Amino acid sequence: MAADLSPLIRAAADLIREARNILAITGAGISADSGLPTYRGVSGLYNGRLTEDGIAIEQALSAEVFRTRPEITWKYMRQIESGARGKTFNRGHEVLAWLEQTKPRVWVLTQNIDGLHLAAGSRNVIEIHGTMRRVRCVQCQRVEPVEDYSQLNFPPHCGECGGLQRPDVVLFDEFLPSDALGTLDRELRRGFDLYLSIGTSSTFPYILQPILQARTLGLPTIEINPAAETDISRLVSIHLPLGAAEALSRIADQLAAN
């Protein structure tokens, strides 16, 4: 018999109600409720199997392969974008956007490259792995938005200088974007009253670190993840073993009821 999670929902809602400054850390799990696959927060197309080119998806999406064989990287980025095309934000994204509108300060730190937080209305978003909704010229650094990769030539080239374009995402073995890291550092220094971990296993150090910081400072933390236990489940104040959209929807309903 499934456990009654209502007391945990009420406790999570109470923490959110009392908080003025919230950091929500999101991973592939929140986009899974929009129909996007969750593997590594990137593709979900292989789950450990080699690609048709005989290499792992991590290698196909690496800086080295893009440097030497950009058509390979673009081939699999096209597959990822095609799988996300037509998908839209869900109730989980909407609730976070609503919290930003109703609280003094709410930020989203996301590992996702799908752009769904911004589409749902959140504005304080740190896309730590970049976004596939932009392409960037490797020569002149010109950035332009792109909604549909099927309209691009492959590999695409810059209309200004003719240089090779790349998806504006962090490839494997690349450094994180300095502007995103700077924003994250600035906001962590300002501090938050409450930290949410939503749909992520928190395996990356920069995703785990805010939760560890909160624990050190004695600040409340909430994990929303359908997995029975992740690396941070024993560290958080409340662990909700639910999907992101269901959990956030139930929390929003509880907030509206009081």
SS (H, E, C) the chain: CCCCCHHHHHHHHHHHHHCCEEEEEECHHHHHCCCCCCHHHCCCCCCCCCCCCCCCHHHHCEHHHHHHCHHHHHHHHHHHHHHHCCCCCCHHHHHHHHHHHHCCEEEEEECCCCCHHHHHCCCCEEECCEEEEEEEECCCCCEEECCCHHHCCCCCECCCCCCEEEEEECCECCCCCHHHHHHHHHHHHHCCCEEEEECCCCCCHHHHHHHHHHHHHCCCEEEECCCCCCCCCCCCCEEECCCHHHHHHHHHHHHHHC
Q: How far apart are CA 210 and CA 23, in angstroms?
A: 9
Both tokens of residue 154? 């492959």
Q: Distance from CA of residue 148 to its chain's centroid?
A: 20
Q: Which residues are designated catalytic?
A: 129
Q: What share of the chain is helix, strand, coil (3-state, %, to 5)?
A: 40, 20, 40
